[in-house]
Amino acid sequence: MPKRIGFSQYEENFPGSNISAEEMEFLRAIERYQRKYRRRYPSWREVLGVLRSLGYRKVAEPSPLPVPPSASSSVTQAMPPVAPPA
């Protein structure tokens, strides 16, 4: 069976992947959580817990979701705006 590439090895194996230091910190924190609790697919609640452990706190009003650079302009025009939670 071939060796599986983990998150922390991704940037090393795929140079030019353009993962920021902040994104890499998050990926490594998720990987540590997965290994510690043997949870290959953590729930969204668990992911939020990892974010909070990194210091994430909601300090501003919600804003529209960013459009990924790979999305085409026709797709972004068809997307309705995301309403903030009530």
Q: Is there a contact between 40 and 6 (Cβ–Cβ < 8 Å)?
A: no
User: For residue 75, is it within any domain?
Assistant: no
User: For residue 5, is it within any domain?
Assistant: yes
User: For residue 42, is it within any domain?
Assistant: yes
DSSP string, the chain: -PPPPPHHHHHHHSTT----HHHHHHHHHHHHHHHHHT-SS--HHHHHHHHHHTT----S---PPPPPTTS-HHHHHHSPPPPPP-
Q: What is the mean pLDDT of residues 44-55?
A: 96
User: For residue 82, is it within any domain?
Assistant: no
Q: Where in the sequence is the domain holding 33, given as residue range(s)? A: 1-10+20-56
User: For residue 68, is it within any domain?
Assistant: no
Domains in the chain: how many in total?
Answer: 1
pLDDT digits (tens, 9 = 90+) for 11-47: 566 666 778 889 889 999 999 999 999 999 999 999 9
71: phi then psi, degrees, rounded to nearest 5: -75, 140
User: For residue 77, is it within any domain?
Assistant: no
User: For residue 83, is it within any domain?
Assistant: no
User: For residue 15, is it within any domain?
Assistant: no
* Prediction pTM value: 0.59
